[in-house]
């Protein structure tokens, strides 16, 4: 696609990056077939190709409008279009640039600004979020059913083994996950402990920065990234093998620190090191499959029928497919077939709050497919997808690592 950037963007880092991406799009339209918002809304301007056109016009000098902003806002950033695109168009990076420019030019209403500030500050702060969650859990029984489904009951994390192995890995605890589902990180620590790896956390680390970044607050997003880098580098220096991600939404973000901080003279090298050391838990465990198979419980009662939802941030963002399915089937689980695995469930970070109609339509469609094979449990790999799907499902929804943890022989079960 030919481009002619307007003066303010010529010879700027974001202009040059956008131009390169725009030029790689051949306008074929293959991406329309797998774009969830195009599938639901049927409007070319709510498709990848339409949004690319809108961003190109803005970069070439057209004044963006509220309508332009709405079409960009409606994108789930699922990056399904990147998986489909035969020309390797890096749509996600272009959208970051386009949204940022449009945000600066169009602005937001007071109501939108306030909603976004509450989301950004409330969700990214574990102290604020956990206080609100505990209050909600305390009065959950008095709430109408529609609200109850949005507040999970308090759960026990179980034990987190003391770090006693020479092999050590760090975990990003996440901002909402420890409050909503504390068992996910604890189950990860137990599974890794059984294959000879101790999981530790750096208390100074916090939100990965995705919340602020996707709400177009680049400065706050970068502050979170730098804080995490400062928290993790000393551990990498001390010999920690990897930084483990148990939420694929955080994983895709941390893996992109290298790109997002590429122009930061103080952090570019450190960001590259952190991104290279970052692994999804499935990537780590797939290299330990033999040890896990040896630990798998022989009891058939634990081998439930599962339906797996691969989050977009895992399959399209991190391009990781098949590892979770492989681990679960090696551990003896039966996986029900699921149609339209490539499509987003509608969670997409804060999207379910900011775009509730589209989000809900996608959730209903996704749950129909997940439940078609009559699973006993639905499993996924991201806290956002998990809570979003659970809010519409009578079938329990869990992180797959919790199921694997339950299916492994516990150290106390071994004959002494």
Query: Please, are residues 71 and 45 in contact by the beta-carbon 8 Å criterion?
Result: yes
Nearest approach, Cβ of residue 79 and ligand SF4 (Å): 5
Phi-psi region of 35 (alpha: psi -120 to 50; beta: other; left: phi over 0): beta
64: nearest Cα among 113, 116, 103, 108: 103
Measured from the CB atom, the residue of 313 and 380 that comes closer to ligand SF4 is: 313
**Whole-Å CA distances, 341 to 128, 169, 229:** 35, 31, 34
Nearest approach, Cβ of residue 412 and ligand SF4 (Å): 45
Q: Which of 2, 27, 141, 412 binds ligand SF4 (CB under 6 A)?
A: 27
Q: Which stretch binds ligand SF4 (CB under 6 A): 30-38, 167-175, 282-290, 374-382?
A: 30-38
Q: Which of 26, 135, 154, 364 binds ligand SF4 (CB under 6 A)?
A: 26
Separation between Cα atoms, residue 326 and residue 93, nearest integer Å: 30
Query: Please, are residues 192 and 199 in contact by the beta-carbon 8 Å criterion?
Result: yes
Separation between Cα atoms, residue 2 and residue 224, nearest integer Å: 36
Q: Tell me the three state secondary structure of residue 250.
A: helix
For tokens 């290298």, name the residue: 258
Measured from the CB atom, the residue of 74 and 226 that comes closer to ligand SF4 is: 74
Separation between Cα atoms, residue 147 and residue 136, nearest integer Å: 10
Pairing of strands 198-201, 168-171: parallel
Separation between Cα atoms, residue 372 and residue 374, nearest integer Å: 6
Sign of the C-alpha dihedral, residues 358, 253, 202, 197?
Answer: positive
Q: Which of 22, 49, 184, 397 binds ligand SF4 (CB under 6 A)?
A: 49
Measured from the CB atom, the residue of 82 and 193 that comes closer to ligand SF4 is: 82
Nearest approach, Cβ of residue 187 and ligand SF4 (Å): 30
Q: Does 351 bind ligand SF4 (CB under 6 A)?
A: no
Separation between Cα atoms, residue 165 and residue 189, nearest integer Å: 12
Residues 61-100 that bind ligand SF4 (CB under 6 A): 75-81, 84-85, 87, 89, 91
Measured from the CB atom, the residue of 169 and 362 that comes closer to ligand SF4 is: 362
Query: Please, are residues 380 and 389 in contact by the beta-carbon 8 Å criterion?
Result: yes
State residue 174 phi and psi, 5-degree precision: 90, 165
Q: Which of 5, 18, 25, 252 binds ligand SF4 (CB under 6 A)?
A: 25
Letter string b/e over residues 227-254, b meaning 16 or more CB atoms within 10 A of that residue's CB: ebbebbbebbeeebebbbbbbbbbbbbb
Q: Does 311 bind ligand SF4 (CB under 6 A)?
A: no
Measured from the CB atom, the residue of 31 and 370 that comes closer to ligand SF4 is: 31
Nearest approach, Cβ of residue 314 and ligand SF4 (Å): 14
Q: Does 164 bind ligand SF4 (CB under 6 A)?
A: no
Q: Which stretch binds ligand SF4 (CB under 6 A): 43-51, 156-164, 191-199, 233-241?
A: 43-51
Site size toward ligand SF4 (CB under 6 A) is: 25
Nearest approach, Cβ of residue 202 and ligand SF4 (Å): 31
Measured from the CB atom, the residue of 94 and 244 that comes closer to ligand SF4 is: 94
Nearest approach, Cβ of residue 357 and ligand SF4 (Å): 14
Can you point out the beta strands (E) in 13-58? none
Separation between Cα atoms, residue 325 and residue 334, nearest integer Å: 10
Q: Which stretch binds ligand SF4 (CB under 6 A): 2-10, 23-31, 149-157, 399-407?
A: 23-31
Measured from the CB atom, the residue of 55 and 207 that comes closer to ligand SF4 is: 55
Separation between Cα atoms, residue 410 and residue 284, nearest integer Å: 20
Q: Which of 29, 234, 322, 396 binds ligand SF4 (CB under 6 A)?
A: 29
Nearest approach, Cβ of residue 113 and ligand SF4 (Å): 23
Measured from the CB atom, the residue of 33 and 135 that comes closer to ligand SF4 is: 33
Query: Which residues of the chain form contacts with ligand SF4 (CB under 6 A)?
Result: 25-31, 35-37, 48-49, 51, 75-81, 84-85, 87, 89, 91
């Amino acid at each position: 696609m030919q481009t002619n950037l307007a003066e303010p963007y010529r010879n700027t880092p974001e202009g040059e990056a956008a131009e390169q991406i725009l030029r790689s799009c051949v306008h074929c339209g293959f991406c329309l077939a797998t774009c969830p918002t195009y599938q639901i809304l049927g409007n070319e301007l709510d498709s990848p190709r339409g949004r690319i056109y809108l961003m190109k016009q803005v970069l070439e000098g057209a004044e963006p409008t509220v309508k332009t902003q709405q079409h960009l806002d409606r994108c789930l950033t699922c990056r399904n279009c990147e998986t489909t695109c035969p020309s390797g168009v890096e749509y996600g990076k272009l959208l970051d640039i386009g949204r940022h420019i449009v945000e600066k030019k169009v602005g937001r209403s007071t109501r939108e600004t306030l909603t976004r500030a509450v989301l950004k500050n409330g969700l990214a702060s574990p102290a604020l979020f956990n206080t609100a969650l505990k209050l909600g859990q305390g009065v959950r029984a008095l709430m109408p059913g529609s609200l109850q489904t949005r507040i999970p009951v308090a759960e026990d994390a179980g034990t987190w083994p003391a770090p006693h192995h020479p092999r050590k890995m760090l975990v990003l605890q996440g901002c909402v996950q420890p409050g909503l589902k504390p068992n996910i990180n604890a189950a990860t620590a137990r599974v890794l402990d059984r294959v000879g790896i101790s999981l530790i956390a750096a208390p100074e680390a916090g939100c990965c920065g995705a919340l602020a970044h996707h709400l177009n607050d680049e400065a706050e997003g970068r502050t979170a990234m730098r804080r995490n880098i400062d928290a993790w580098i000393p551990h990498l220096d001390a010999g920690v093998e990897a930084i483990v991600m148990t939420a694929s939404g955080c994983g895709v973000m941390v893996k992109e620190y290298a790109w997002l901080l590429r122009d930061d003279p103080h952090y570019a090298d450190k960001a590259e090191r952190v991104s290279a050391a970052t692994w999804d838990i499935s990537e780590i465990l797939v290299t330990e499959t033999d040890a896990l198979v040896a630990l798998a419980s022989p009891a058939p009662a634990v081998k439930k029928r599962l339906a797996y939802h691969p989050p977009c941030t895992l399959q399209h963002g991190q391009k990781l497919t098949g590892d979770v399915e492989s681990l679960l089937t090696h551990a003896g689980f039966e996986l029900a077939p699921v149609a339209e695995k490539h499509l987003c469930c509608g969670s997409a970070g804060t999207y379910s709050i900011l775009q509730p109609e589209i989000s809900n339509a996608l959730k209903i469609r996704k749950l129909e497919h997940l439940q078609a094979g009559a699973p006993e449990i639905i499993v996924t790999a991201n806290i956002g997808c998990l809570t979003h799907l659970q809010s519409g499902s009578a079938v329990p929804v869990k992180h797959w690592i919790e199921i694997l943890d339950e299916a492994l022989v516990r150290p106390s079960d071994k004959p002494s």
